[in-house]
């Protein structure tokens, strides 16, 4: 039986065989591979692990849970992560288990290409195109990488298939139920594609515009209604994530495109290279023979002889013009190419969604050959493609084939010595079993980077997180003083900034650190794990049984000057849950004076600085007593009254809100400006936040140092738990402590800042409303409140506060900018243009 006589259902059986063959090869590749994920791959794997963790205990009917769910990935759309979760649940959290999602994408891709081939041509074209999709180097290369590009190619092809199917059925006007069904299915696929990656719109934009214009031109109002409902369905699907994260998407867009393009040396848009870039690499993604042989068929038998396969229009296209399929495919391919080229940040994988549709054109070219020898030519082409496939993916020789037909697409499994990432993570957990640890990763190579250490730490209940520090000269000392663990490496350091050499030397030579363990890497370089000799937090078991938290010891210098950090050691003991959930409200005040009346300073923080982790504790062990020692520093104000200071301590449970006073052991601390400055550790993160937040009173000029500092300290606390600590502690104080207006304002700004950084809209609005009540003549308070309203898509309320701010001070340019944005969000384009034009012209 000839292939073109196969039915649709028989073709599906062959598609299953094609998919299975590819799946077997993929799993053999992963079984052989011992590599570790590189930067982007590990970053995406971390995203999948984060959503896997969140979906362990879903709260489907809790709006706050949904908001936190969408915030997990606040810059990259989360669909790929979410779809990977079932595979992690069933097969574990390894990289190989995560890659099983690619088999699902592969099945959808083959079915979509097959469906397109059938409705635009016939079953034979669909089968050959699907087979080619398994053999195109660009597709099978990225099918083995945990990136967004192969999934994007899948979802874009599915969307294009469904919109084509809907377009054809809506034109036929014989089955409106199917027409509506396909419209809704396309809307769902369209929404999912945008929820996977925004660049999906690059490839679907021109087909969407063409259909919209044709509906209006031909007065097809029912079809236009279906189209608009489909688009609205797609928007509803992706809207919750985009509404939650739209500001970060916009602010991070420059770094992800323009900055990356400059760093990678991509051609500027005003050069011819920018528009020929993808055309030059396309033969490598397709392979030369899979490009030239089908093109030969298209030219010889299509252009010269007019016998392009197939020579008859199928039943699906009977209501459309004979050339519709070619115009439709050309619109997709050329439109996608132009918009992808318009993106200044270029990479071979960014053009991947064009390849499945292009495979249809290649299949037609192969099937267009005439004569008895056509069968041999087709199968010789496929056999050569299979050999190239094997030679590109497995080290079986055949370099002469790969370098000639598809250079730069070889992707062999790594068969060498395994890398020690899991051993490094296990070593840290062995030394600090009760703590969440942040690992400072100083090198940044393909194999040794912060993302893949975070991935292997994520497999251990997220107990270790990798961060790249030491990238700015003025932050080296603070970075070195803020973490307990660092990784250094001999030999190639990878893509690191100049300050990296300085912090590496500091860690390896400073007496504060000791070499914990060394591993030899496959390239014969050495990986070194360093630990702080006196950790910032230590946890040990205690033989004394007690439920409530107890402050057992305080170590401070007997005399210290004001305005300088003072080293302090707190030793706490208590039941594990009480320790883990405890925030201590510590007020250092002048002896024989009431707190908050004269000189005082705060040192509120969570016990263990929020790093206590119960991953290695059974329920029985959690009921035991533990001892937590904190080696930290506090900061008295520079204008502090002199004299002896005492400590008043209160325990606050962050979960239940219960409080109880803590007895304070004896100590002696005198504040004296003549005292020598004693060495002190880095200030805890809550103190650093509380110190910098009052700068908000100055408006935009005060925000720059705030964002600089919070960007740095966010690196040290992967969960940003210090924000929640500050919010809970100072919210309690604002309710229960009487202080002057200035101090209350400082606390309000700290709470507001912590809520803004947590993207807690309701809480931030409440804080800024209180700041306005406290100081109604500060226009910046109204501007902050307006900004939060704009973030929450409430432009009318934003404009109301901006109008008040402008009455107080009409000379603040940022107020006009925010007013322009508010006008634009309300649809007042003329007002927005008037207000924003001076900024645009700059």
pLDDT tens, 58-69? 999 999 999 999
**pLDDT for the residue 623:** 78
Give pLDDT tens digits for 268-323: 888 898 899 999 999 999 999 999 999 999 998 877 777 788 776 676 776 677 78
Give pLDDT tens digits for 747-786: 999 999 999 999 999 999 999 999 999 999 999 999 999 9
What is the C-alpha separation between 697 and 783, in angstroms, rounded?
A: 11
**pLDDT for the residue 260:** 63
- 210: exposed, middle or buried (Cβ count in 10 Å: 0-12, 13-18, 19+): middle
What is the C-alpha separation between 812 and 791, in angstroms, rounded?
A: 20
> Tokens in use for 670?
């005198």
In this model, does residue 560 exceed pLDDT 50? Answer: yes
State the Cα angle at 162 between 160 and 164, rounded to 5°: 70
What is the C-alpha separation between 623 and 619, in angstroms, rounded?
A: 7
Asked if residue 586 lies in contact with residue 554, where contact means CB atoms within 8 angstroms, the answer is no
Neighbour order of strands in the sheet with 526-532: 464-467, 437-441, 485-489, 526-532, 513-520
Beta strands in 741-813 (DSSP E): none
What is the C-alpha separation between 110 and 106, in angstroms, rounded?
A: 6
Give pLDDT tens digits for 621-635: 777 899 999 999 999
Q: What percent of the chain has pLDDT over 70?
A: 96
- 265: exposed, middle or buried (Cβ count in 10 Å: 0-12, 13-18, 19+): exposed
**pLDDT for the residue 3:** 44
What is the C-alpha separation between 163 and 205, in angstroms, rounded?
A: 12
**pLDDT for the residue 129:** 97
Estimate the crossing angle of helix 272-286 against helix 288-297, to 10 degrees.
90
**pLDDT for the residue 258:** 62
Which one, of 297, 300, 304, 279, lies nearest residue 381 by Cα? 297
Q: What percent of the chain has pLDDT over 90?
A: 80
**pLDDT for the residue 255:** 59
In this model, does residue 842 exceed pLDDT 80? Answer: no
**pLDDT for the residue 616:** 81
Region of poorest pLDDT, from 165-174, 251-260, 415-424? 251-260
What is the C-alpha separation between 125 and 119, in angstroms, rounded?
A: 10
What is the C-alpha separation between 310 and 317, in angstroms, rounded?
A: 13
What is the C-alpha separation between 700 and 687, in angstroms, rounded?
A: 22
**pLDDT for the residue 254:** 57
**pLDDT for the residue 249:** 83
- Model confidence at 596, pLDDT cuts 50, 70, 90, reads low
- Model confidence at 653, pLDDT cuts 50, 70, 90, reads very high
**pLDDT for the residue 2:** 43
Q: Among all chains, which residue has been given the structure tokens 């030579």?
A: 509
**pLDDT for the residue 398:** 82
- Rounded CA Rg of the chain: 31
State the pTM of this model.
0.93
Q: Which residues does residue 652 pair with via DSSP β-bridges, in sequence order?
A: 583, 659
Residues 6 or more apart from 621 whose CB is under 8 A from it?
A: 576
What is the C-alpha separation between 770 and 749, in angstroms, rounded?
A: 10
**What are the helix and strand counts (H, E) for the chain?**
34, 16
**pLDDT for the residue 53:** 96
Asked if residue 714 lies in contact with residue 674, where contact means CB atoms within 8 angstroms, the answer is no
What is the C-alpha separation between 545 and 82, in angstroms, rounded?
A: 44
What is the C-alpha separation between 161 and 328, in angstroms, rounded?
A: 11
In this model, does residue 45 exceed pLDDT 90? Answer: yes
**pLDDT for the residue 592:** 72
Q: Which residues does residue 531 pair with via DSSP β-bridges, in sequence order?
A: 485, 514
What is the C-alpha separation between 452 and 459, in angstroms, rounded?
A: 11
pLDDT (average), residues 401-420: 93
Q: DSSP secondary structure string, 455-504?
A: HHHHHTTT-EEEE----SGGGHHHHHHH-SEEEEESS--BS--THHHHHH
Give pLDDT tens digits for 190-228: 999 999 999 999 999 999 999 999 999 999 999 999 999
State the Cα angle at 692 between 691 and 693, rounded to 5°: 100
List domains and CATH numbers for the chain: 3-34+100-393 (no CATH), 421-532 (3.40.190), 537-683 (2.60.40), 686-841 (1.25.40.10)
> Tokens in use for 485?
């663990």
Mean model confidence pLDDT for the chain: 92
What is the C-alpha separation between 266 and 259, in angstroms, rounded?
A: 10
pLDDT (average), residues 182-190: 97
**pLDDT for the residue 305:** 73
Residues 6 or more apart from 390 whose CB is under 8 A from it?
A: 396, 398
In this model, does residue 1 exceed pLDDT 60? Answer: no
pLDDT (average), residues 494-517: 94
**pLDDT for the residue 593:** 65
**pLDDT for the residue 253:** 61
**pLDDT for the residue 8:** 84
Which one, of 592, 131, 550, 532, lies nearest residue 366 by Cα? 131
Region of poorest pLDDT, from 114-123, 170-179, 798-807? 170-179
């Amino acid at each position: 039986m000839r292939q073109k006589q196969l039915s649709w259902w028989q073709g599906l059986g062959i598609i299953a065989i094609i998919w299975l063959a590819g799946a077997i090869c993929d799993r053999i590749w992963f079984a052989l591979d011992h590599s570790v994920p590189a930067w982007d791959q590990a970053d995406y794997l971390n995203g999948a692990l984060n959503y896997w963790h969140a979906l362990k205990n879903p709260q489907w009917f809790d709006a706050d849970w949904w908001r936190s769910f969408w915030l997990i990935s606040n810059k990259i759309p989360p669909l790929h992560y979410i779809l990977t979760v079932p595979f992690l649940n069933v097969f574990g959290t390894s990289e190989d288990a995560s890659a099983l999602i690619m088999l699902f994408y592969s099945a959808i891709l083959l079915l979509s290409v097959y469906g397109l081939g059938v409705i635009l041509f016939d079953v034979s074209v669909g089968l050959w195109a699907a087979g080619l999709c398994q053999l195109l180097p660009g597709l099978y290369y990225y099918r083995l990488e945990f990136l967004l590009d192969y999934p994007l190619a899948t979802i874009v092809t599915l969307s294009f298939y469904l919109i084509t199917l809907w377009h054809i059925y809506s034109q036929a006007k014989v089955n409106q139920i199917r027409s509506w069904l396909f419209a809704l299915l396309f809307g769902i696929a369209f929404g999912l594609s945008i929820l996977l990656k925004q660049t999906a719109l690059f490839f679907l934009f021109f087909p969407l515009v063409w259909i919209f214009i044709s509906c209006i031109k031909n007065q097809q109002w029912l079809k236009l209604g279906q189209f608009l409902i489909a688009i609205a369905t797609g928007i509803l699907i992706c809207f919750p994530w985009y509404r939650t994260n739209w500001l970060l998407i916009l602010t991070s867009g420059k770094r992800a495109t323009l900055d990356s393009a400059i760093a990678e040396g991509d051609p500027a848009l005003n050069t011819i290279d920018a528009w020929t870039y993808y055309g030059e690499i396309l033969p490598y993604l397709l392979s030369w023979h899979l490009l030239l042989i089908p093109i030969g068929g298209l030219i010889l038998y299509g252009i010269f002889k007019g016998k392009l396969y197939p020579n008859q229009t199928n039943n699906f296209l009977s209501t459309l013009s004979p050339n519709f399929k070619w115009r439709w495919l050309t619109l997709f391919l050329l439109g996608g190419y132009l918009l992808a080229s318009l993106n200044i940040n270029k990479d071979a994988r960014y053009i991947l969604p064009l390849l499945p549709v292009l495979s249809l054109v290649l299949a037609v070219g192969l099937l267009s050959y005439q004569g008895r020898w056509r069968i041999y030519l087709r199968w010789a082409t496929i056999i050569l493609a299979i050999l190239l496939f094997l030679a590109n993916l497995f080290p079986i020789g055949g370099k002469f084939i790969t370098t000639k037909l598809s250079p730069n697409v070889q992707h062999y499994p790594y068969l060498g010595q395994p890398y020690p990432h899991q051993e490094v993570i296990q070593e840290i957990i062995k030394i600090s079993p009760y703590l969440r640890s942040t690992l400072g990763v100083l090198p940044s190579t393909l194999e040794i980077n912060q993302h893949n250490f975070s991935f292997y730490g994520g497999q251990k209940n997220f107990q270790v997180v990798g961060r790249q520090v030491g990238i700015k000269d003025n932050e080296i000392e603070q970075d070195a003083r803020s973490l307990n663990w660092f990784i250094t490496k001999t030999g190639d350091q990878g893509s690191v900034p100049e300050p990296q050499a300085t912090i590496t030397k500091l860690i390896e030579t400073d007496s504060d650190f000791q070499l914990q363990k060394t591993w030899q890497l496959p390239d014969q370089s050495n990986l070194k794990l360093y630990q702080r000799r006196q950790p910032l937090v230590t946890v040990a078991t205690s033989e004394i049984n007690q439920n409530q938290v107890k402050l057992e010891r305080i170590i401070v210098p007997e005399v210290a000057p004001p305005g300088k950090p003072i080293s302090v050691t707190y030793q706490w003991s208590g039941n594990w849950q009480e320790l883990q959930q405890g925030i201590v409200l510590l007020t250092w005040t002048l002896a024989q004076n009431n707190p908050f009346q004269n000189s005082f300073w705060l040192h509120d923080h969570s016990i263990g600085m929020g790093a206590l982790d119960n991953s290695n504790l059974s329920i029985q062990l959690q009921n035991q007593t533990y001892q937590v020692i904190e080696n930290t520093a506090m900061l008295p104000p520079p204008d502090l009254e002199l004299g002896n200071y005492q400590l008043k301590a209160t325990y606050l449970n962050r979960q239940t809100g219960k409080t109880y006073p803590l007895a304070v052991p004896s100590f002696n601390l005198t504040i004296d400006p003549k005292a020598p400055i004693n060495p002190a550790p880095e200030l805890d993160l809550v103190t650093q936040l509380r110190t910098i937040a009052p700068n908000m009173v100055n408006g935009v000029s005060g925000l720059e140092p705030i964002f600089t500092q919070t960007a740095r300290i966010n690196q040290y606390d992967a969960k940003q738990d210090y924000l929640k600590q500050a919010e809970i502690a100072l919210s309690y104080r604002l309710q229960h402590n009487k202080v002057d207006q200035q101090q209350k304002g400082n606390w309000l700004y700290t709470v507001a800042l912590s809520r803004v950084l947590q993207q807690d809209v309701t809480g931030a609005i409440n804080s800024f409303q209180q700041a306005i009540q406290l100081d109604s003549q500060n226009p910046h308070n109204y501007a902050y409140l307006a900004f939060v309203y704009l973030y929450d898509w409430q432009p009318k309320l934003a404009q109301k506060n901006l109008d008040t701010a402008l009455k107080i001070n009409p000379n603040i340019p940022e107020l006009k900018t925010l007013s322009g944005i508010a006008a634009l969000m309300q649809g007042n384009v003329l007002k927005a243009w008037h207000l924003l034009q001076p900024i645009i012209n700059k």
